[in-house]
Amino acid sequence: MGDFVRVEINDGIATIRLERPPMNALNTQVQEGLRAAAAQTGADPEVRAVIVYGGEKVFAAGADIKEMADMSYVDMSARAAHLSSAFDAIARIPKPVVAAITGYALGGGCELALACDWRVVADDAKLGQPEIKLGIIPGAGGTQRLARLVGPARAKDLIFSGRMVDAEEALRIGLADRVVPAAEVYDAAVALVGPYVNGPAQALRAAKLAVDGGLELDLASGLAWESQLFAGLFATEDKREGMTAFVEKRKPDFTGR
């Protein structure tokens, strides 16, 4: 994962931690570190949930502008898909994923947060897509995931203006899911995903695939996709355990199989 991205695993929760001070600028090394971390945490059966965390001071203040400043169209056309797919790797982790946001989540940092299932945000944090102020647009999912999350009109407001939003506005428009004091962000993220550690891992995976995949389909195709995933879960041990426990009026003991 390189020098700037580290994975820590504790009690079934993996923390993908950005470590490129002072602002966790998302250069090529960080992007590829995120890709590797997504592959590791997605494949590890001991990992049941994931937190993406930039530390106590800042989540990620954006891409490394110095790295991009001298790039030409030809240069970026060769790199852009790799940038987008690195963040997409986070979005495709087949487990619950939460971004724990302190300080700033701007540009690529906001796009990384958007790739997660939820966002726990410090009450003094700032989020936004300021790329327009550099004469460009978001290029790692910002125009697509933000519009799907907060609606096209609000997404256009943020992307066209490049303005930052505070935690209160982020919560109001749906960009944040929980707002807590800065010192409590990581613990709140753990609390959010903690209940899934002992949950039915295959059903959680299917639920994420159904929701995320269905957003790309028309309703009829989405319903067919849901039906396939639903039926597939009848081959799992957790389905048998869950239904048996219901009949026996006890708490299920899921194994993730």
Which pLDDT score, from 0 to 100, does residue 68 have? 84
Please count the other Cβ atoms lying within 10 Å of the Cβ belonging to residue 237.
13
Is 252 part of a structural domain of the chain?
no
Structural domain contains residue 180: yes
pLDDT value at residue 1: 65
pLDDT digits (tens, 9 = 90+) for 65-89: 888 888 889 988 888 888 889 999 9
- Is the pLDDT higher at 63 or at 213? 213
Q: Choose among 119, 7, 135: nearest CA to 60.
A: 119
Catalytic residue among 8, 19, 111, 241: 111
143 and 220 in a single domain? The answer is no
Q: Is 111 annotated in the active site?
A: yes
Does 216 qualify as catalytic in the annotation?
A: no
Identity of residue 5: V
Q: Which of 19, 131, 226, 248 is catalytic?
A: 131
Domain of residue 216: give its range: 201-247
The predicted pLDDT at position 39 comes to 97
The share of the chain scoring above pLDDT 70, in percent, equals 100
Name the nearest CA neighbour of 104 among 128, 139, 133.
128
More confident residue, 64 or 87: 87
DSSP string, 96-111: -EEEEE-SEEETHHHH
Mean pLDDT of 206-228: 96
Same domain, yes or no, for 180 and 243? no
237 and 147 in a common domain:
no
pLDDT of residue 80: 83
- How far is the C-alpha of 105 from the C-alpha of 129, rounded, in Å? 9
Mean pLDDT of 15-37: 95
Looking up tokens 């428009």 gives 173
pLDDT at 67: 84
Residue 255 is classified by DSSP as -
pLDDT value for 15: 98
Domain tally for the chain?
2
In total, the chain counts a number of residues equal to: 257
Residue whose pair of structure tokens reads 């987008």 in the numeric block: 84
Determine the distance from the C-alpha atom of residue 216 to the mean position of all C-alpha atoms in its chain, rounded to a whole number.
17
Task: For 64-89, give one letter per residue: b (16+ CB within 10 A) or e.
Answer: beeebeeeeeeeeeebeeebbebbbb
Residues 206 and 192 in one domain: no
The answer on 222 and 164 residing in a single domain is: no
Residue 93 Rama label (left phi>0; alpha psi -120 to 50; beta): beta
pLDDT for residue 178 is more than 80: yes
Q: Is the peptide bond before 22 cis (omega within 30 degrees of 0)?
A: yes
Over residues 196-216, the pLDDT tens digits come to 999 999 999 999 999 999 999
